[in-house]
Amino acid sequence: MVADPRLRATPGHLPVDPQQRLHALFTVALCTLWVFTGLFPHDPWKPDEAHTFGLVLHILQTGDWVVPTLAGEPFLEQPPLYLVTAAAFAALFGGLLELHDAARLATGFYLSLVLCFVALSARELYGREHGWVAPLALIGCVGLLIRAHQMIAETALLAGFAIGLYGLCLSARRPVVAGLVLGTGAGIGFLAKGLLAPGLLGLCAVLMPVAFATWRRPRHLLVLLAAGLAALPWLAVWPATLHGRSPALFEQWFWADHFGGFLGLNDLGPESAPGEYFVMLLWYAWPALPLAAWTLWQRGREAFSVPQLQLPALVFLVSFVTLSLSADARELYAMPMLLPLSLLAAASIDALKRSAANFLDWFGIMTFGLLALILWIGWVALVAGWPARLSARMSILNPGFDAGFSLPVLLVGALATLVWIGLVWRIGRSNRRAIINWAAGLTLFWVLTNLFFLSYLDHGKSYRGMIEQVRTHLPPGHGCIASQQLGESQRALLYYFAGVTTQRVEQSTDASRDCELFLWQGWARDAEPLAAPWVKVWEGARPGDRKELYRLYRREAAALPMPVPADPPGSR
């Protein structure tokens, strides 16, 4: 690749500057703290974590990775790569951590890969001194913070996308290696979430020589050929094994669960609205998006003649257009777009006007300083009851939670805050100060949030206590349990915490006739769903949950068949 001297100021073959090494070590430390904070300890939360762990639990108990199964039913929305990885971490570390917390370490593993390959991509495009800037821009993206720390297959998809993007960055200099890396990344993305990653990466690889002369050379064919060969095993083994196990399940995965979501033929996700991703990215990709936009605006038409800007701009545009055309839309799906935006942000930081860099710097300092103060006040209210009105409000939102004072929490929180203040106070004056302080401030917010409020949040979001109440009301030696409107997350956690698998009336209307117990999920405003001869033996919900309500019934005599609801309330 022909380097733009304004972007690649320090060629990779020059000796490493001691200050660059210090910056790299700081980036590794900050990214490590950001990655592993919040992964544990807490129960699987709905919607995505709960059903993901249900699939992981099936692999742990049966060893069957071919057909993802949730509470006894095939669940084929995602291929098994993340599930197998999480099961491996659960098996390795389940003795040290709770099983679900050990499984969530898979997320930390894939996030580490993401940040590593984003750094390699920035170094390949812009030079060694930019290799530590891009990961800071990525962890600074507001929308990535919560989703990236959940037990979800999208983190493996993001890792595959990051690896494939690095392969694209290498394509002008080392075509064969680039193709192998690109194909491997596409394959990992495929086994994580289906055709999205290979589709986007493959389309970008084909469009690169079409759109830009830099890649319009015969050896780019080597990239495509090597990528195809590297991706083939990833794309073939599991689908072929699934087809051999059950052609019907293969067709369900390939057409209904896979293309159905994109084309809007199923109800697996919320319906996309025009311009939804554009509006979403305004906050989701902050501050990488405005920095990337500044790069392109500053250079104007010249931006698309600079190879280092062409590639991430093309990847972002292809991803944005493709996702915008999908019938389903969730902010979770926007994560891959943050990777090229982070690369563009890394390219812009040195060329940013000093006034703009100072504004971003002070905006970040004031924002996260204020948020840290609010978190400290909230923690004091939680453990000391002052301010009284705030403490009372927090008790109402999450009744039954007993915080209690913890000296280690106080000391760690104070240390994290003081380190951040020292960093803000002592770091040198430069444009890069803005991105460093933003990433550090967001990490401080994340550390304090988890340190002070993780157990408080888990108390309200966990289904453990509610399911324990259900279990205590089940008679000894009970037979089958029918259920109605019970969501995927709830079915998975009911099996995990109580060992109970229900027979859903949505799958078989005979369940209400054959079973002596009936578990119903609905809204608190709903009337009693069952009458005599059914007798309600328990009613409850999670602490502070005023929407979801659960009722357990016992049949005293022959029950009337239950109708299947036309539109059960979604709980995912």
Q: Dump pLDDT digits (tens) for 129-162.
A: 888 899 999 999 999 999 999 999 999 999 999 9
Mean pLDDT of 536-561: 83
Type of residue numbered 288: A
Give the integer Cα–Cα distance in Å for 13 and 375. Answer: 46
Mean pLDDT of 6-26: 62
Please give the helix or strand (H or E) that residue 554 lies within, else none: strand 548-555
Phi-psi region of 53 (alpha: psi -120 to 50; beta: other; left: phi over 0): alpha
> What does the pLDDT look like over 477-521, one tens digit per residue?
888 999 999 999 999 999 999 999 999 988 877 777 788 999 999
Together in a domain, 100 and 173: yes
Together in a domain, 281 and 358: no
pLDDT of residue 123: 93
Query: E-assigned strands of 330-489?
Result: 481-484
Together in a domain, 471 and 448: no
CB 463 within 8 A of CB 493: yes
DSSP state of 328: B
- The strand pairing partners of 548, in sequence order, are 523
Mean pLDDT of 21-37: 91
> Of 346, 380, 412, which marks where a domain is finished?
346
Give the integer Cα–Cα distance in Å for 364 and 367. Answer: 5
Joined tokens for residue 536: 């309600």
> What does the pLDDT look like over 87-102, one tens digit per residue?
999 999 999 999 999 9
Query: E-assigned strands of 67-226?
Result: 69-70, 73-74
For the chain, the average pLDDT equals 88
Give the integer Cα–Cα distance in Å for 118 and 133. Answer: 10
Together in a domain, 35 and 152: yes
> What does the pLDDT look like over 414-469, one tens digit per residue?
999 999 999 888 776 777 888 999 999 999 999 999 999 999 999 999 999 999 99
> What does the pLDDT look like over 184-193, one tens digit per residue?
999 999 999 9
pLDDT of residue 332: 87
> Of 346, 375, 393, which marks where a domain is finished?
346
> Does the pLDDT of residue 105 top 70, yes or no?
yes
pLDDT of residue 559: 44
Residue 7 lies in a domain: no
Type of residue numbered 427: I
Give the integer Cα–Cα distance in Å for 568 and 553. Answer: 19
By percentage, how much of the chain surpasses pLDDT 70?
Answer: 91
Phi-psi region of 276 (alpha: psi -120 to 50; beta: other; left: phi over 0): alpha
CB 348 within 8 A of CB 431: no
Number of alpha helices (DSSP H) and beta strands (DSSP E) in the chain: 23, 7
Query: E-assigned strands of 337-496?
Result: 481-484
Q: Residue 401, Cβ neighbours under 10 Å: how many?
A: 18
Give the integer Cα–Cα distance in Å for 481 and 516. Answer: 7
DSSP state of 532: T
The Cα-based distances of 237 to 138, 191, 234, 246, 566 in angstroms read 33, 10, 6, 14, 38
Joined tokens for residue 315: 């990847």
DSSP 67-99: S-EETTEE--SS-SHHHHHHHHHHHHHTTTS-H
pLDDT of residue 569: 40
Residue 317 lies in a domain: yes
CB 455 within 8 A of CB 478: no
Type of residue numbered 84: V
> Does the pLDDT of residue 568 top 70, yes or no?
no
Query: E-assigned strands of 157-253?
Result: none
> Does the pLDDT of residue 551 top 50, yes or no?
yes
pLDDT of residue 270: 61
What domain range is 532 assigned to? 464-555
Residue 432 lies in a domain: yes
Together in a domain, 42 and 165: yes
Mean pLDDT of 528-541: 90
> What does the pLDDT look like over 67-77, one tens digit per residue?
999 988 899 88
Please give the helix or strand (H or E) that residue 540 lies within, else none: strand 534-540
> Does the pLDDT of residue 264 top 60, yes or no?
no
pLDDT of residue 298: 79
Q: Residue 494, Cβ neighbours under 10 Å: how many?
A: 26
DSSP 459-513: HHH--HHHHHHHHHTSPTT---EEEES--HHHHHHHHHHH----EETTT-TTHHH
Reduced to 3 states (helix: H, G, I; strand: E, B; else coil), residue 261 is helix
pLDDT of residue 509: 73
Residue 521 lies in a domain: yes
**pLDDT range class, residue 266, cuts 50, 70, 90:** low
CB 34 within 8 A of CB 446: yes
Angle at 41 between CA 99 and CA 32, to 5 degrees: 105
Mean pLDDT of 246-254: 90
Q: How many domains would you assign to the chain? A: 3
Residue 296 lies in a domain: yes
Give the integer Cα–Cα distance in Å for 338 and 317. Answer: 12
> Does the pLDDT of residue 560 top 50, yes or no?
no
Angle at 487 between CA 88 and CA 450, to 5 degrees: 55
Residue 2 lies in a domain: no
Reduced to 3 states (helix: H, G, I; strand: E, B; else coil), residue 1 is coil
Give the integer Cα–Cα distance in Å for 504 and 72. Answer: 11
Give the integer Cα–Cα distance in Å for 115 and 124. Answer: 14
> Does the pLDDT of residue 561 top 90, yes or no?
no
Together in a domain, 499 and 451: no
Instruction: Catalogue the long-range contacts made by 67-71 (C-beta closer than 8 Å, 24 or more residues apart).
Output: 67/242, 67/245, 67/246, 67/249, 70/488, 70/491, 70/492, 71/491, 71/492, 71/494, 71/495, 71/501, 71/502
Residue 326 lies in a domain: yes
> Does the pLDDT of residue 565 top 50, yes or no?
no
Mean pLDDT of 327-337: 86
pLDDT of residue 570: 41
Please give the helix or strand (H or E) that residue 438 lies within, else none: helix 432-461
Together in a domain, 258 and 130: yes
Together in a domain, 338 and 384: no
State how far Cα 257 lies from the chain centre. Answer: 19
Joined tokens for residue 299: 């250079």
> What does the pLDDT look like over 359-417, one tens digit per residue?
888 999 999 999 999 999 999 999 999 999 999 999 999 998 988 899 999 999 999 99
pLDDT of residue 7: 56
Together in a domain, 240 and 99: yes
More confident call, 499 vs 261: 499
By percentage, how much of the chain surpasses pLDDT 90?
Answer: 66
> What does the pLDDT look like over 512-522, one tens digit per residue?
778 899 999 99
More confident call, 14 vs 214: 214
Together in a domain, 322 and 449: no
> Of 417, 441, 461, which marks where a domain is finished?
461
Together in a domain, 325 and 360: no
The Cα-based distances of 42 to 150, 459, 461 in angstroms read 11, 9, 9
CB 314 within 8 A of CB 208: yes
Residue 568 lies in a domain: no
pLDDT of residue 563: 47
Together in a domain, 453 and 470: no
